[in-house]
Amino acid sequence: MKQMKRWISAWTLAGVLVCSCLGPGVRTWGSEPVMVAGSGMAEAVWKNGAEERGEGQVTGDAGVQTDAGGQSGEADGGAAGGQAAAGGQSAADNVGTVGVQTAAGIQTDAGDMGDWTVPVEAEIAAASSDSQTGPDIQAPSAVLMEASTGQVVYEKNGDEPRSPASITKIMTLILIFDALKSGKIKMTDEVTTSAYAKSMGGSQVFLEEGEVQTVETLIKCIVIASGNDASVAMAEYIAGDEKTFVDMMNERAQGLGMTATHFEDCCGLTESKTHVTSARDIAVMSRELINHYPEIHNYSTIWMDTITHVTKQGTKEFGLSNTNKLLKMATNFQVTGLKTGSTSIAKYCLSATAEKDGVRMIASIMAAPDYKARFSDAAALLNYGYANCRLYEDKEPLTLPGMPVENGVADTVDLKYDGMFSYLGLHGEDFGAVERKLQLPESLQAPVEEGQTAGAVEYYLGGEKLGEVLVVTAGSVKEAKFGDYMRKMAGALFMGRGSAEDDMGEDDVTGSENDG
């Protein structure tokens, strides 16, 4: 018994010495409260084996991330500093492992907080297991939308107005491509940089006053390098001045139903608290851009490029590097864009577009705590979408008949579909069992206008209606007047007489042959 007591005393003393040597910043194991000290502070408490977390509190420079051991690094520089778990919380596991959780959700040792990569398999598993509630993300506001249907798959404070920073440029790009489509401008047009455009700060490509660049080059500067100077140069070229262009932006936003949006500049550099949009509105305008102008992906997928400055000082090359680091992350989907944004007010924002198996997704992230979180949040949302969504598209629709027209100058009018039907399934539906029903009237009454609704094709699955696509007229038919009826009658008589003469001729020939 004495021997046993001596062993217990020895082990107890050893435990006390070890815990004393560990000091602040290192956690011990077991079910005891844990305090993490250093340049930042976070708390995590276990009670009876269940973890209870309070809101973490991190002190120090707002632009620096802190890890459990007090190490730090620049928030946007990819340096050694690692980010603690959401809210600054971190904790050891129940077997004594000393670690913190990175923005990617990977446990690492406190002293190893370098660059990270999100394992694709881990993200897919997380997305699948969390299919009921959606992924846990750090950003306070986010939306995941399927591009062809516009259906929202996930949202978190989706309608909350926030500063968008350079995400603003998505609307600027919409107006640029609107002008290209209308023929108002061309890709080869040369744009002269004004003194005002040159004066833009923030992210820029350092255009000089009087410098001339083509429209296409400036599009590259906006999409790839998020150039504020290039955005203003294009705004002035299209509208004459930035203010008029911003009015056009707000009008376009209103037309898209972006109710939480108000723009005050064309690039997002402003720190005005009334220059706002929402995660839902970002998804809406992103959808407008990629659906109507898919050529945007020719630029949004460029990782690096160069432009040539030709100024009074001479000629020099300038490198463009894409601000969307999601393009280089390991993913199980194809990243196709789209736009990043960050300011001290907006924090870190992202509109990420992706495609997999013909399904296109848009993940909009607002006010993420750091630049890594916006990319990991977007990746988590996109993986969630691809793990849980299936898209049905009727690429081989039913053949449409000619539609009879009453009292028209023509007896029938051709029909066409008003778009392609698509439906996003969220529950693993078997789209092989989809039924299609063509609903058309017996005839249309003249006059008939081109594009006039004639009917619809309805889609059903398991007796439940999924939706419909309209059937419209492919041409027009005027109402018949008295003269039209007379011409019809004359034509009918002529055709009847001609047919009778043909019949008589055949009889004569047959009779002659028989007589012979």
Written in H, E and C, the secondary structure of 476-487 is CECECCHHHHHH
Domain ranges of the chain: 2-116, 141-388, 403-473, 482-516
Q: How far apart are CA 491 and CA 280, in angstroms?
A: 61
Q: Where are the beta strands (DSSP E) in 29-181?
A: 34-36, 42-47, 50-53, 64-66, 72-74, 100-101, 107-108, 141-146, 152-156
Q: Do the two domains 141-388 and 403-473 of this chain adopt the same fold? A: no
CB contact at 8 A, 324 and 340: yes
Question: Which residue among the candidates 226, 300, 376, 422 is catalytic per the annotation?
Answer: 226
Active site residue 166: yes
Q: How far is CA 504 from CA 213, 492, 511, 515, in A?
A: 79, 18, 10, 16
Sort residue 441 into left (φ over 0), alpha (ψ -120 to 50) or beta: beta
Which residue in the list 72, 141, 163, 166 is annotated as catalytic?
166
Coil/strand/helix, residue 151 = coil
CATH superfamily of 141-388: DD-peptidase/beta-lactamase superfamily (3.40.710.10)
Report the candidate in 231, 226, 371 with the shortest Cα–Cα distance to residue 300: 226
pLDDT for the residue numbered 133:
72
Catalytic residue among 156, 169, 220, 347: 169
User: Would you state the pLDDT for residue 494?
Assistant: 64
437 is catalytic: no
Residue 405 φ/ψ, nearest 5 degrees: -120, 125
Answer whether 411's CB lies under 8 Å from 449's CB.
no
From CA 297, how far away is CA 353, in angstroms rounded?
A: 9
- Segment 186-206, tens digit of pLDDT: 999 999 999 999 999 999 999
- DSSP designation for 57: B
What is the predicted pLDDT for the residue at 51?
29
Tokens for 457?
A: 């094709």
pLDDT attached to residue 499: 53
- Region at 473 (left for phi over 0; alpha for psi -120 to 50; beta for the rest): beta
Roughly what angle, to the nearest 10 degrees, separates helices 169-182 and 279-292?
A: 30
Residue at token pair 């949009």:
277
**How far is 333 from 386, CA to CA, in rounded Å?**
8
Q: CA torsion 238→243→247→250, rounded to 10°? A: 100
What is the fold of 403-473? Peptidoglycan synthesis regulatory factor (PBP3), Domain 2 (2.60.410)
Q: Please state, in angstroms and rounded to a whole number, the distance separating the CA atoms of residues 392 and 399.
A: 19
Q: Which residues of the chain have pLDDT under 70?
A: 1-132, 483-486, 488-516
Cα–Cα distances (Å) from 388 to 131, 147, 180, 495, in that order, read 7, 15, 37, 63
**Spatial distance between the Cα atoms of 61 and 83, rounded to a whole number of angstroms:** 13
Parallel/antiparallel/unpaired status of strands 444-445 and 422-425: unpaired
Q: Where are the alpha helices (DSSP H) in 327-391?
A: 371-388
User: What is the pTM assigned to this prediction?
Assistant: 0.66
Three-class SS of residue 408? strand
Query: Cα(82)–Cα(66) distance, rounded to whole angstroms?
Result: 6
pLDDT of residue 486: 67
With beta carbons less than 8 A apart as the criterion, state whether 352 and 378 touch: yes
Task: List, for residues 438-492, the tens digit of each pLDDT value.
Answer: 999 999 999 999 999 999 999 999 999 999 999 999 999 999 887 666 676 666 6
d(CA 102, CA 138): 11
**Integer Cα distance of 418 and 471 in angstroms:** 6
Contact 192, 212 (CB under 8 A): yes
**Identity (one letter) of the amino acid at 182?**
S
DSSP conformational letter for 499:
H
Indicate the length of the chain as a whole number: 516
The encoded tokens of residue 30 equal: 């077991």
Q: What is the pLDDT of residue 482?
A: 72
Give residues with Cβ within 8 angstroms of 405, minimum separation 6.
411, 412, 413, 443, 444, 445, 446, 448, 477
The greatest distance separating any two alpha carbons of the chain, rounded to the nearest whole angstrom, comes to: 143
pLDDT value for 81: 33
Q: Which residues contact residue 435 at a Cβ distance below 8 angstroms, ignoring those fewer than 6 apart?
A: 459, 460, 461
